[in-house]
Structure 1
Amino acid sequence: MGKETGVIKVFFRVPKTGFITPDDGSEDLLFSHEHVPNYDEVCTKLYLGQRVSFERGVTYPSGPGAKNVTIL
């Protein structure tokens, strides 16, 4: 699968996780800091409603997740 787009629904600086609402209307995806390239540089730029691109392919115990999350 290729890159998709969506918006940050919620982001928790601690424990460095959040949820993305995909533009295609599918269920929200969990993401974790280890799946955000250069997290330490971009963490202050992540906010509610921030447009991002991502790839699917991570599965957490709570459900599907996103990887390679980047700010648009």
Structure 2
Amino acid sequence: MDNGRHKKNVRPAGDKYIEVMMSTEIKTQVVVLGAGPAGYSAAFRCADLGLETVIVERYNTLGGVCLNVGCIPQPDIF
């Protein structure tokens, strides 16, 4: 069944694969790679300037490597 979407297997930080539905086409003016502190700020600034902006992040939540798996211990953020 083709409903205009493609299935894509995405590999997050762990060994498990998740399935994500992706549109065949996304029209945007700016693509920001990474949703860490710099990417998050850059994306919001572009959006504030009226640009169509998309953030691409490999983790399920925003914050980047440091917040999600690196520098900040998980118990400290809950």
Q: TM-score, normalised by structure 2?
A: 0.26
Q: TM-score, normalised by structure 1?
A: 0.27
- Higher normalized contact order (CA 8 Å, seq sep 6+, divided by chain length): 1
Structure ranking higher in strand proportion: 1
